[in-house]
Amino acid sequence: MSNMEAIRFAYGRALAEAGEKYPDMVALDADVSNSTCSVEFAKKYPGRFFNIGIAEANMVCMAAGLASMGFIPVVNTFSFLLCERALDQIRSSVAYNRLNVKFAANYGGLSDSYDGASHHSITDLGIIRSIPGMALVVISDAAQMRSAMPPILEYDGPVYFRICRAETPVVHKENEPFEIGKGVTLADGSDITVLVTGILVSRALEARERLAAENISAKVIEIHTIKPIDEEIIVQSAKETGAALTCEEGNILVGLGAAAAQVLAREYPVKMDFVGLDDCYAESGEYGSLLDKYGMSVEIIIEKARRLVNSK
């Protein structure tokens, strides 16, 4: 877990490599291809790459048209722009018609850290999750990005996958199986279930190690697909541990926490708590420091897990 790599760089290379296997794949970008790294695809396949300019809604409409003609369009821009400026087009043109468009949502969460609240993407998980027919994936590290690229492209229907801008710890091994809609048990435990998505996976695993020193046994499950969510693994683990803590880089009112709470409220209610932004905006600053300040530190995960276990 010591090596660091930026997910967006892994994505750019994976996108370019996928071009050969998927000849019907095209890429569209809203004039930020150097940032999203879709420029790697543009260099290799210039005839299959379209720079639409700063016109996100038009870009999604064009992707819908290409998908209706049998292409596999991959739409690239910052996640907050996709889910807010182009929401109408995602909902009405793509999702309603269940078109096979893939949305590479870069600079997710607080990872565009120095650009502040206007560029942070803290509501996208809830927005996209609320749209019928959309699959919602959150990538946790560069190795997983490489494994996830083929399943995302082969998935029958629209997929929104969130990508972090910054370098993050690599937790996964190369070529690990990746299945949309299936959670992954990263570490076993008996006292509490930690459900985590995205780049907080490394922090959840660190918290687990430190909790073990207090004789608290935490099971860590990565929910990389928030929709369709793996209800079976969530319910089964809740039955085994009797408590659940969700961890996500976004507003705790929506996203993974809300999705898991709905599953457990219906199937097997247990003590729960939520790690993420407490319904607030974040300022500009260094990425790791922002995560710590706004409620996503290893210490907060430990504190909330400890409290849940002691309250059972």
Residue 75 sits in a domain whose CATH number is 3.40.50.970
**Residue 55, domain member (yes or no):** yes
State the CB neighbour count (10 A cutoff) for residue 41. 28
Same domain, 19 and 162: yes
Strand 218-222 with 184-187, pairing? antiparallel
Same domain, 165 and 100: yes
**Residue 231, domain member (yes or no):** yes
Same domain, 139 and 13: yes
Same domain, 143 and 57: yes
Close Cβ partners of 133 (under 8 Å, ≥ 6 residues apart): 95, 96, 98, 157, 158
**Residue 214, domain member (yes or no):** yes
Q: Which of 169, 194, 221 is the last residue of a domain?
A: 169
Whole-number Å distance between alpha carbons of 99 and 71? 10
Q: Which of 122, 137, 169 is the last residue of a domain?
A: 169
Please identify every residue annotated as catalytic. 56
State the CB neighbour count (10 A cutoff) for residue 37. 26
**Residues forming a β-bridge with 66:** none
**Residue 105, domain member (yes or no):** yes
**Residue 64, domain member (yes or no):** yes
Same domain, 151 and 235: no
Same domain, 144 and 17: yes
Whole-number Å distance between alpha carbons of 252 and 104? 22
**Residue 155, domain member (yes or no):** yes
| φ/ψ (deg, to 5) at 250 | 180, 180
267's tokens: 């199937």
Helix/strand/coil for 65? helix
- The pLDDT tens digits along the chain (312 residues) read 459 999 999 999 999 999 999 999 999 999 999 999 999 999 999 999 999 999 999 999 999 999 999 999 999 999 999 999 999 999 999 999 999 999 999 999 999 999 999 999 999 999 999 999 999 999 999 999 999 999 999 999 999 999 999 999 999 999 999 999 999 999 999 999 999 999 999 999 999 999 999 999 999 999 999 999 999 999 999 999 999 999 999 999 999 999 999 999 999 999 999 999 999 999 999 999 999 999 999 999 999 999 999 998
Domain count, the chain: 2
The whole-number pLDDT of residue 1 equals 46
Same domain, 97 and 149: yes
**Residue 285, domain member (yes or no):** yes
Same domain, 156 and 199: no
CATH number (domain holding residue 269): 3.40.50.920
Question: Would you give the end-to-end CA distance of the chain in angstroms?
Answer: 32
Q: Which of 137, 169, 201 is the last residue of a domain?
A: 169
**Residue 178, domain member (yes or no):** no
The whole-number pLDDT of residue 2 equals 58
Provide the residue range defining the domain that includes 131.
4-169
Same domain, 38 and 107: yes
Same domain, 303 and 243: yes
Same domain, 304 and 194: yes
Same domain, 191 and 141: no
